[in-house]
Structure formats: C-alpha cells, structure tokens
Structure 1
Amino acid sequence: MTDHVETPSVTVEALGAGHADALQRFFAGLPEGDRTFIKEDVTDPATVRAWAEDGTARWVATGPDGGIDGYVAVRRLSGWSDHVAELRLVVGPRRRGSGLGRVLARHAVTEAIASGATKLVVEVVAEQGAALALFTALGFRGEALLEDHIRDRSGQLRDLLVLAHRVDATWSAMDTLGLPEALDGDGAPDPA
C-alpha cells in the first residue's frame, strides 16, 4: 500500500496519530456548509483522533506549510458487501480548483483496487457539481438518486447521488481501447 505520494506543492501520506491535531484544525476550518455533508461529526476531537489511530485506509494532503489541505478515506464495507469500498473525500477551500481533489480521488481509487475491492462507491450531494464531474471523469457512473435523503444544518432536505465504479468493467473497457493508464498515469494495478 502506498503511504507517501509527492505531487507539486502537496504530499499525500497515510493518516497517522501525528496528524490528529492538524486534521482537527482542517475540519474546524471548513465552512459550516461543507461540514453539513460529512457523515460524522468532524468537530468532535475524539472522532478525528480515533480516525488517526484506527489504521483504516485514510490519507491527508499536506502543503508546504505543513497544514492539511485535503483528506480521503477508503472504507471497505463488511459482510456480503465486503467487495465494495466507499470513498470519502474533502478538499479545503484554499485548494479547491487546484486539482488536489483529483489527486486524492485517484490515489484512493488506486488504493481501493490494490486492496482487492471490485466495486467502489461515493455519495455526492446533488448540488456538488464539481465533485460529480470529478468522479464521473474517473469512471464512476450514477447508480442511485436518493431524493430528500439528507438534511443540512438549516433543515433543508437535499438529494444524494450514489456513484459507482465497477473495477472489472472499467479495466476491460480501457484494455479494449488500449488505455490502461487512463485511470492512473502512474501505473494502477491490473486487477486481472
């Protein structure tokens, strides 16, 4: 598993206990509206500290100043869905539009495939056009629309889109077109 990836002006590394305080500051610095769409209470220091110590596949993107600019997690489902991995991605406001979301999403997709997941899913609030475009560009397709599925902090109901990426189908199509590097230019593993 890749623990450390260098990209221009950012380092993607496995989340560890040493990142807990910086990750708490990152989440606290998000606009209130952004925190609405994160399932867990990321303002709770115990939640963030537990993530930093639990060994789950999570990564942070740190900038030159050492601050965290992004977070991504790959959470394998359990039981009869243990072949499925859920991706969660958050990019801080100062780095949006810089390509960091794509770097983190590609890293997560590569790591999920390397861990043996054959289906990846991500939940996107319907109004999050940039996130929708990012994941569809990586081969995710709409699988479900859950109307009025989440309630923001002001009480407004929002639609939730579930996007899925079927690893075998995507790799088969890319191989047919001769584009196996399309998912990850640095050599994603061949699931075959």
Structure 2
Amino acid sequence: MTTVVPLTDAHCDALVRFFAELPEGDRTFIREDVTDPDVVRGWAAGSPGVDRWVAVDDGDRVLGYVAVLRLPGWSDHVGEVRLVVAPAGRGSGLGGELARHATVHALEAGLTKLVVEVVADQGAALALFTGLGFTGEALLVDHIRGRDGQLRDLMVLAHHVGDTWAGMRAVGLTEALGDPS
C-alpha cells in the first residue's frame, strides 16, 4: 500500500535514494541536484510557499514525489507542480494520485492556477495532466537540452483550479474527489 505524506526529515535518505535510482534521463529535467543530500534536507526543512509530499510504501520506500511551489509577486496566485514517479510505480495510478493531492492542496491554499512543465514527447505525463484538466498554454520549441545534447520541446500546461472545481461542484462530483470546500 502506498501513502502520500508530507516530506519530513525522516524521508530524506529514502528520497535521495529514490532520485539516485531514477534513470539518468529522468533526472536530466529536474532543476536541482536531487542526488545531493543537502538539497533534499533543505527541502525537508521547509520553505515559505513550498509544500512537498512523498508517496511511501509500507517499508517507507519513496515511490513518488510531488511539490507545489507558489510563485512570487504578482503571480502569487499560481503554483508550479513538480512531480516524479519511480519507474516501478508508473502506470499504477500513483502519478494521478500525487497530482490530485497537489491540486486539492492548491485549492486549500488559495491558489487559483497551477502550471506544470512537461517535455513534449512524454506522452504519459501529458495524458496524466490533461486528464486532470490541465490544458496547453505554451509550447517552447527546442527549449531544453538533454544530457545527450538533443534539443527538446517543452510544454507548459495550466489548470485553473477554481474554475474546474466550480464546474465539478455544479454536477456533484466534488464529494467523490475530496472537495476541500
């Protein structure tokens, strides 16, 4: 059984192992050096406007990670979602569970828009987020370079949280999904 819990100091070693065990290609597109224990300890210590969770199994092994980072200044109503699932957990619904968890939290925190960056050729990730109501806002051509030197397109997807929940509330779906209001 997998449980989504807030990231704490107790998860640091397991989270570093989780990131180290990801295929190199998966780590290419993570901005921070997630194999550095100090980076992960800093995350666990907490930062204003950033919430992080891990999906752990019964043995406290990390199988997934999601964060919502509130953007600063005049975009403080927007949260950036960052989500990673271990290869062994992909296709199991874990990514969707983590994304839904982040979406519900965003609404509870007063955010009205979520954005996520997805490499354009990652079909499963695109399907996951579009299935949750995210829509394309931008296509950035040749925007990222993999460690192999290849340029790849990046898609920015957005989810207008309040609009989506209002529509679901109108047809009675929010109770089944854990409507926070």
TM range (shorter): over 0.9
Alignment of 1:185 onto 2:179: no
Runs of 4+ in 1 over 4 A off after TM superposition: none
Match of 1:92 among 86, 106, 110: 86
Counterpart in the other structure of 2:127: 133
TM-score scaled by length of structure 1: 0.89
Shift of 1:106: 0.4
Aligned-partner residue type, residue 25 of structure 2: G
Q: Secondary structure at the match of 1:124?
A: strand
Counterpart CA distance in 2 for 1:171 and 1:67 is 32
What do the CA deviations read for 1:143-185 (whole angstroms, capped 9, x no partner)?
Answer: 0001111111111111000000112322333344x1432xx73
Counterpart CA distance in 1 for 2:52 and 2:176 is 21
Contact 2:107-2:162 at 8 Å conserved across structures? no
Contact 2:66-2:102 at 8 Å conserved across structures? yes
Q: Secondary structure at the match of 1:185?
A: helix
Aligned length: 179
Counterpart CA distance in 1 for 2:28 and 2:179 is 33
Aligned-partner residue type, residue 176 of structure 2: G
Alignment of 1:110 onto 2:104: yes
Shift of 1:45: 1.6
Segments of 5+ residues of structure 2 without an aligned counterpart are none
Q: Percent identity?
A: 63
Counterpart in the other structure of 1:39: 31
Q: Secondary structure at the match of 1:88?
A: strand
Segments of 5+ residues of structure 1 without an aligned counterpart are 1-8
Counterpart CA distance in 2 for 1:185 and 1:89 is 23
What do the CA deviations read for 1:64-116 (whole angstroms, capped 9, x no partner)?
Answer: 22210000001000000000001100000111111100110000000011000
Q: Secondary structure at the match of 1:70?
A: strand
Counterpart CA distance in 1 for 2:149 and 2:34 is 19
RMSD: 1.4
Counterpart in the other structure of 1:6: none
TM-score scaled by length of structure 2: 0.94
Counterpart CA distance in 1 for 2:14 and 2:162 is 37
Aligned-partner residue type, residue 47 of structure 1: V
Alignment of 1:28 onto 2:20: yes
Alignment of 1:49 onto 2:41: yes
Q: Secondary structure at the match of 1:121?
A: strand
What do the CA deviations read for 1:41-84 (whole angstroms, capped 9, x no partner)?
Answer: 11222111111112531000001222100000010000000000
Q: Secondary structure at the match of 2:34?
A: coil
Alignment of 1:144 onto 2:135: no
Shift of 1:187: 1.9
